[in-house]
A and B are shown apart, each in its own frame.
Chain A
Amino acid sequence: MAGRLKMDELILRHLNGEATDVEQRRLENWREASPGNEVRFLEARAIWNGPGALPRGPTPRP
């Protein structure tokens, strides 16, 4: 449970455009590790961004 919440924290940082390069790679590895992880990521992204017709990737930050 704690591990899941930690990954959600990372997902949220990614969706808000705040993840570092290291965190990005960690997230990518986690997503590729299992279909369940990928679904969990896509669910979070869908909740954050809304309908898929409006893909809104992370906002680049300076």
Chain B
Amino acid sequence: MEERNPTSAEMADVSLARIRAGEPGAFERLVEETWDDLVDHLTWVLGSREAAEDAGQEALIRIWERRERWHDGSARALVFRIARNLAFDARRRERVRREWADREAVVAKAGVEPDALAETSEYEQRFREALEALTPGRREAIELVRLKGLTHQEAAEAIGISQQTVANRMTLALADLRVLLADVLPQLHIGTEPARGRETEDG
């Protein structure tokens, strides 16, 4: 009778039972069978191959360290399930860390009080909502220049249009934003600047 190699699924199912039994070589075969797919999948979830490899490695270590707990089933599926949970946890932690870092950076840079920071966050939220109401071209120009800090020239190169077209879109976007944000403008302390001596603040 001709021998055939077991499919991944068959092998993974067997591997879980073998891993639990501590069969030599079973865990190594599981790693070999799942590693590439696992890291590819986690890279898609996390956006970073390095972070994906960390999560994949952690998932496999847990499979091994907790092998006594596992019953019958697909080892491959279990690895993926654990790894996905780890990846989502990592993504949540990273998002929270970034949000706090951003807030701290704003506070450190401007020396603002928490109330002012909340005011800023609320305005940014309104600003982004207003952006959604713009035409795609105007929104793109504003996002590149105002949110990503590109010059008009850099934005033009990024989009593949002329610098003047970027300027036109920005100008029309500003006109839209004047209308869309009209209700919050009085709250933005726009009248507090002295008429003279503004050169220092504005350039």
Contacts and interface: CB of A to CB of B under 8 A. Distances in A.
A16 B145 contact: yes
A8 to B, nearest CB: 5
B1 interface: no
Contacts of A14: 202-203
Interface stretch (B17-25, B39-47, B61-69, B116-124): B116-124
Nearest to A52: B189
B106 to A, nearest CB: 7
Contacts, number: 92
B195 interface: yes
Contact of A58 (B106, B168, B175, B202): B202
A42 to B, nearest CB: 4
A46 B151 CA distance: 19
Which of A17, A18, A32, A50 counts the most B-chain CB atoms under 10 A from its CB?
A50
Contact of B189 (A17, A39, A53): A53
A50 B116 CA distance: 11
Nearest to A4: B175
B174 A8 contact: yes
Secondary structure dominating the interface of B? helix
Given A18-B152, A53-B110, A44 B174 contact: yes
Nearest to A55: B201
B124 A42 contact: no
A48 interface: yes
B195 A38 contact: yes
A24 B181 CA distance: 26
Interface in A11-49: 11-14, 16-19, 24, 28, 32, 38-39, 42-48
Contacts of A8: 171, 174-175
Contact of B175 (A5, A16, A51): A5
A50 B127 contact: yes
9 contacts: A8-B174, A9-B167, A12-B167, A38-B195, A46-B190, A51-B116, A52-B192, A53-B116, A54-B112
Interface of B: 106, 110, 112-113, 116, 119-120, 123-124, 127, 145-146, 149, 151-152, 167-168, 170-172, 174-175, 177-178, 181, 185, 187-193, 195, 199, 201-203
Interface of A: 5, 8-9, 11-14, 16-19, 24, 28, 32, 38-39, 42-48, 50-55, 57-59, 61
Top 7 closest pairs, chain A to chain B, by CB: A52-B189, A53-B116, A46-B188, A42-B190, A50-B123, A46-B190, A58-B203
